[in-house]
Structure 1
Amino acid sequence: MTPVLQLTDVTVRYRGAATDVVQGVSLAVEPGQSLALVGESGAGKTTLLRLLLGLTRPTSGTVRFDGEPLTPRDRRQMRTFRRSVQCVFQDPYSSLDPRRRVAAIVAEPLRSLGLDSRKTAAPKVATALERVGLPADTASRYPHEFSGGQRQRIAIARAIVCDPRVLLADEPVSALDLTTRVKVVDLLAELKQERDLTLVMVSHDLSVVASLCERTAVLERGRLVEQGATEQVLGAPEHPYTRRLIGSVPRLPV
């Protein structure tokens, strides 16, 4: 099966930097798979996510979409790519335009991709909001009128409104309280199952990774040090860095 997204020996060094942010990473994301990218802050997780989104170009190596090199200048390919790959960001408040009503925010991918006008987008927006558990009047309100968990649901509705194949999530629950975090994780799991979504998630929370992702890739200082089935990586880690990462998780005294 051809990976929907693939990194081959990818290295990224930002202009003026003395070292690589990501070095020699090869990673394949199979259709329908859920993959977690884990590691300490500065390990290169978000840079990998930006590569997979087509927002960052590698200094060397190749990013592929459906087996073909991702070429930002290829307008036809990028149109298909943008419809197929959507993202949910860490902070739901900063990722939502406070000046726009929710209806316009959720409809943005439909309009920017030329799939719908404002009128024809309305039923799809209503369906997306309903699917993430928000009431019908949500569409006419502004982001500041909602809680953090509700704002993240709005962000998820925006991401799924154009029926993408891949959802990339950058710490999607880290800004939420524990109870809300569980509910949003459950929602993501349901959406993945219902829509056969491919999910790639950056997370510091290994409990979220264990409950949501089938595979895990561990990054240390821009290098991929371990990857495999989540049960194996978190349950019986082989690399010393992975063991230290798991060992640093706080535990209640017994």
Structure 2
Amino acid sequence: MTPVLELSAASFAYRGSAAPVVEDVSLSVAAGQSLALVGESGAGKTTLLRLLLGPARPTAGAVRFDGDRLNLRDRAQMRRFRRSVQCVFQDPYSSLDPRRRVGDIVSEPLHSLGIDSRRTAVLKVAEALERVGLPADAAERYPHEFSGGQRQRIAIARATVCDPRVLLADEPVSALDVTTRVKVVELLGELKEERGLTLVMVSHDLSVVASLCERTAVLERGRIVEQGDTAQVLGAPAHPYTRRLVESVPRLPV
């Protein structure tokens, strides 16, 4: 089966920098699968997510979408890609424009991708908000009227309103309190199962990874040191770096 997203020997270095941020990374995710990218801060996780999303281009290697090399100059391909791949960002406070009503925020992908007009988008916005557990009248309110967890639900509604095939999530629950975090994780799991979403998620929280993702790739200093089935990677890690990550998770005293 052709992976829906794939990195093939991909490296990335900032202009003027001698050392790459990520180097010779190969990974793939199949349709309907969930993949976690884990590692310490600065390991290159968010850079990989940016390569998969398109804003960053690899300085070596390739990003492939449905088997074809991603070409930012191919308008037809990029249109298919933008409709198929959406992202949820880390901070629900800064990722939503405080000057715009929620309905306008959620409908933005429908307008920018030319899927719906402002009038025909209303029903899809209401459905997207209901799907993430918010009332349809939330569309008339502003982001500051909602809690952090509700704002992240708004961000998820925006990302899923155009029925994408792939959802990229950059630390989607790290800015939330524990109770809200559990609810948002449950929501992502439900959306994945009900809508067949492919999920690629960056996370420091290994408990979230264990509950949401079937596969895990571990990054150390821009390189993948271990990847495979999440239960195997986290339950019986083969690499010393992965073992240190797992052992660093706080545990309640018995």
Matched, 1:39 2:31: no
SS in 1 for 2:18: coil
Following TM superposition, by how much is the alpha carbon of 1:136 offset from its aligned partner in structure 2, in angstroms? 1.9
Alignment check: 8 A CA contact 2:127 2:136 kept: no
Matched, 1:168 2:168: yes
**1:63 aligned residue:** 63
Which letter maps to 1:56?
A
* Equivalences for residues 166-245 of structure 1 within 5 A: 166-245=166-245
Structure 1 CA distance for aligned equivalents of residues 251 and 191 of structure 2? 30
* Equivalences for residues 150-161 of structure 1 within 5 A: 150-161=150-161
Which letter maps to 2:209?
V
Structure 2 CA distance for aligned equivalents of residues 215 and 60 of structure 1? 25
1:146-188 Cα shifts (integer Å, max 9, x gaps): 0000000000000000000000000000000000000000000
Structure 1 CA distance for aligned equivalents of residues 81 and 180 of structure 2? 31
1:59-91 Cα shifts (integer Å, max 9, x gaps): 000100000000000000000000000000000
SS in 1 for 2:219: strand
SS in 2 for 1:119: coil
Which letter maps to 2:135?
P
Q: Unaligned 5+ residue runs, structure 1?
A: none
Matched length: 254
Structure 2 CA distance for aligned equivalents of residues 135 and 57 of structure 1? 39
Q: Unaligned 5+ residue runs, structure 2?
A: none
**1:129 aligned residue:** 129
Following TM superposition, by how much is the alpha carbon of 1:17 offset from its aligned partner in structure 2, in angstroms? 1.6
SS in 1 for 2:123: helix
SS in 1 for 2:120: helix
**1:101 aligned residue:** 101
Structure 1 CA distance for aligned equivalents of residues 219 and 120 of structure 2? 43
Matched, 1:18 2:11: no
Q: Normalized against structure 1, the TM-score is what?
A: 0.99
Structure 1 CA distance for aligned equivalents of residues 239 and 57 of structure 2? 29
* Equivalences for residues 111-126 of structure 1 within 5 A: 111-126=111-126
Following TM superposition, by how much is the alpha carbon of 1:225 offset from its aligned partner in structure 2, in angstroms? 0.3
Q: Normalized against structure 2, the TM-score is what?
A: 0.99
Following TM superposition, by how much is the alpha carbon of 1:137 offset from its aligned partner in structure 2, in angstroms? 1.5
1:163-216 Cα shifts (integer Å, max 9, x gaps): 000000000000000000000000000000000000000000000000000000
Alignment check: 8 A CA contact 2:37 2:202 kept: yes
Structure 2 CA distance for aligned equivalents of residues 68 and 136 of structure 1? 39
Matched, 1:77 2:77: yes
SS in 2 for 1:185: helix
Which letter maps to 2:183?
K
Following TM superposition, by how much is the alpha carbon of 1:18 offset from its aligned partner in structure 2, in angstroms? 2.6
Structure 1 runs of 4+ with >2 Å offset: none
Following TM superposition, by how much is the alpha carbon of 1:250 offset from its aligned partner in structure 2, in angstroms? 1.1
Structure 2 CA distance for aligned equivalents of residues 8 and 141 of structure 1? 44
Structure 1 CA distance for aligned equivalents of residues 237 and 181 of structure 2? 26
Alignment check: 8 A CA contact 2:216 2:233 kept: yes
Greater CA deviation, 9-18 or 57-66? 9-18
SS in 2 for 1:251: coil
Structure 2 CA distance for aligned equivalents of residues 215 and 59 of structure 1? 26
Following TM superposition, by how much is the alpha carbon of 1:251 offset from its aligned partner in structure 2, in angstroms? 1.3
